[in-house]
Amino acid sequence: MLKQHPLLRYYLGKIAAYMLTIWGAFTITFFLFRLLPVNPIESWVKALERQYAKTIAAGPEMVNFYKEQFGLNGTLLEQYVRYLYNVIIKQDLGPSFINFPTPVQDLIMQRLGWTLLLMGTSIAISWVLGLLLGLVAGWFREKRWSGVLTNVSIALSQIPAYLIALFLVLFFGYQLALFPTRGAYDAQFTVGLNLPFIMSMLWHSVLPISAIVLVTLAAWILSTRSLIITLLGEDYLHYAEAKGLRTQNIMRRYGLRNAMLPQATALALTLGAALSGQLLVEVLFVYPGLGELLSRAIQYFDFNAIMGIILLSIFSVMTASLIIDLLIPIIDPRIRTAIQSS
Amino acid sequence: MRFLTNTWKSSGKFRFGVIVLAILIFIAFIAPLIYRPIIGDVSPARPGVFPRWLPASAKNPLGTDGHGRDILTDFLAGLQTTLFIGFLAGFLATSVGVIVGFISGYKGGKLDTALITFTNILLVIPAYPILVGLTLVVPSKSMLTVALIVALFSWPFAARTIRAQVMSMKEQPYVELAKVTGQGDLKIIFTEILPNLLPYVLISFAFATVGAMVAEVGIALIGLGASDAISLGMMINYASGWGAFTRGLYLLLLLPPAILVLIFLALTMINRGMEEYLNPRLQNVTGQ
């Protein structure tokens, strides 16, 4: 039956690959961390002893109790099955070490908004700017400024955002003292929908967002530019010119529109990867997002928190790419025909 | 080889990148000649060789840092370590990537499906947290271990690039011709495919090297670099630990990232030069 329905076979194949990849990536990460020669419970219990000045002696019962709490009792396979059961059936990612006993899913929800704010804004700004700049850079490729823009973009495209962030912090944060360099807002404001808080929040996000935008913008400019340059030899463009359409019109209706589909696809993939994207930028700015949480979780080998965040990141990357895979044949008839005739 | 000389002739970006990188590598090579007379016969990473925070003098041209090390030596040894780890990890990652990508693309079928699925799975896993986890637990963090750890997650990119190229080359008429005339697999691989693949291997190598250096800096930034060496990333970590932001230690704070940016820039230009030579459409040529 599948042989007669190539489109259905394509869909089922994509969904199968989606589930297989999520499972594979999760399983590898799960065992990799649990096989590390570390004993997080021991350090946890020692920390407790220090905290309560040894008024309670940490016996084996206590160790076992916490092992059970964190799901670290039993063999690796039992832990693995139990974790999967808890996640899939009970939607429970377990308690975290670093913020005991807050469940990891609550911790993630507290942090997710900040990361989405930071990454969502950066990605939106750089996508729109990148498409427009890439369009003009490609269209007027013979102009001198276009060459300069392209070369600057090439130079910026491979530099990690955290290095840019470092320079920004130094000049705009310390030297000129224009922008704050730590946290997401000033502590004196109450969190909520009030103007001082929102202003403080925006003010704090200027430097991290600029760092991320500078680097990702360069990549968007380059990819849009080469898409446009490929278009420039097409007959319909010459025809539009011959018809006497204004350059602006041709650029918008024939150029930008054609570059839109591949760039929207790339945008979805970028959004999927946003969650774990700029961990070091968050660490540098002590920004209360998922990346900063993850980096602390790793230092304490907080397995539940680590796995929760990584799982969320794997899931969002894969879901974004699945949505694209499923939509593409519907949007683009050329691809649909190619699948059907295969 | 002809590919490299042609790219050199046609691409200013490539020439710029090669010259900058050659200068940096040359400095890294002669570095011991400069820092040995200053620090004597000890490891450049060793703290407390001099008093802390000495001002610049004839003996310590740039002064000493907060660990009692000569700052000029820090820079030279840091450059050495960063280049060494980057190129070694880049080489390891590219080797694995080329082998996996080649087998996958050339053999095809079930083996290809299995390998590409595995490659895709690794690409989805956020690498940085795992790199940090591994670096936290390895007992001796030598430069070699750091390079190995960094390479662990950089090969899938190379594998994907090489696989795609091999798959398209397999369909080329000259390979078909070789098959029809009854040449063996090995002969076809070595005489028809590998020579044409070389530019893509070089591009993968430059990419993997940049990726490895970015990862090494990422690890070093949070204080987890190799314990027997000093790298540019670690210098940034030290500088912020000494309160360089507030104390205005600009040399220590600005020069390490500036050198890193220069290295990334050189490698990117080399890569872009090669890519533009292979695919002129990236430059200004239009058409289908």
For B256-265, write each residue's pLDDT tens digit.
Answer: 999 999 999 9
pLDDT of residue B288: 37
DSSP string, B219-241: HHHTT-S-TTS--HHHHHHHHHH
Task: For chain A, positions 25-84, list CB contacts with chain B under 8 A.
Answer: 25, 28-29, 32-33, 36-38
Instruction: Give residue-wise pLDDT tens across range B6-64.
Output: 889 888 889 999 999 999 999 999 999 998 988 888 888 888 888 888 888 888 888 88
Which amino acid would we find at residue A254? Y
Contact A229, B284 (CB under 8 A): yes
Best A18, A158, A167, A309 residue to mutate vs chain B (most B CBs within 10 Å): A158
Prior bond to A101 cis, omega within 30? yes
Residue A173 parent element (H or E): none
What mean pLDDT, rounded, does chain B reach? 88
Measure in Å the smallest separation between the Cα of B288 and chain A Cα atoms.
6
Beta-bridge mates of residue A95:
A103
Distance CA A220, CA A129 (A): 8
Q: Which residues of chain A have pLDDT under 70?
A: 1-3, 53-58, 276-277
Residue B239 contacts A, CB cutoff 8 Å: no
Most A CBs within 10 Å, among B123, B125, B157, B203, to test the A interface: B125
**Contact indicator for B45, B77 with CB cutoff of 8 Å:** yes
For chain B, say whether A148 makes contact (Cβ under 8 Å): no
Q: What is the DSSP letter of A182?
A: S
Q: What is the pLDDT of residue B177?
A: 87
| ipTM of the modeled complex | 0.84
Whether residue B253 lies within 8 A of chain A, CB to CB, comes out as: yes
B286, pLDDT greater than 60: no
* Distance from the Cα of residue B243 to its chain's centroid: 29
Tell if the CB–CB gap between A32 and B133 is shorter than 8 Å: yes
Tokens of A301: 């080998």
Rg of chain B (C-alpha set): 22
Three-class DSSP category at B42: coil
Beta strand extents in A212-264 (DSSP E only): none
Torsion angle in degrees (nearest 10) through CA of B197, B198, B203, B206? 140
Q: Do the Cβ atoms of A283 and B121 come within 8 Å?
A: no
Predicted local confidence at residue A57, as pLDDT: 61
Find all residues with CB under 8 Å of A275, minimum gap 6, and list them. Answer: A112, A115, A119, A290, A309, A312, A313, A316
Rounded mean pLDDT, B82-108: 94
Do A149 and A133 form a contact (C-beta atoms < 8 A)?
yes
Cβ atoms < 10 Å from Cβ of B239: 25
pLDDT number for residue B287: 43
For chain A, the average pLDDT equals: 85
Asked if pLDDT for residue B84 goes beyond 50, the answer is: yes
pLDDT (mean) for B136-154: 87
Of B221, B253, B282, the CB nearest to A226: B282
Structure token pair of residue A81: 């099955």
Instruction: Tell me if residue A162 falls in helix, strand or coil.
Output: helix
What is the model's pLDDT at position A277? 63
Please state the φ and ψ torsions of residue B70, each to the nearest 5 degrees.
Answer: -70, 125
- CB-neighbour burial class of residue B131 (10 A; exposed 0-12, middle 13-18, buried 19+): buried
Report the alpha-carbon distance of residue B276 to residue B61 in Å, rounded: 43
pLDDT given at position B201: 93
- At residue A75, φ and ψ (nearest 5 deg) are -75, 170
For residues B243 and B241, give the distance between their C-alpha atoms in angstroms, rounded to a whole number: 5
Q: Give B44's Cβ-side CA count (13 Å radius).
A: 27
What DSSP assignment string belongs to A102-161? SBHHHHHHHHHHHHHHHHHHHHHHHHHHHHHHHHHHHHTTTSHHHHHHHHHHHHHHTS-H
CB A170 to CB B254 under 8 A? yes
Cβ contact (<8 Å) for B130 and A295? no
Closest CA to B235 of B121, B80, B89, B104: B80
- pLDDT level of residue B82 (50, 70, 90 thresholds): very high
| A269 contacts chain B (CB < 8 A) | no
Residue A11 to residue A157: CA distance in whole angstroms: 34
Rounded to 5°, the CA angle A204-A205-A209 comes to 150
How far apart CA B104 and CA B167 sit, in angstroms, is 9
> CA-CA distances (angstroms) from residue A290 to A54, A91, B58, B122?
34, 19, 49, 21
Q: What is the pLDDT of residues B190-223, one digit of tens each?
A: 888 888 889 999 999 999 999 999 999 988 888 8
Contact B106, B166 (CB under 8 A): yes
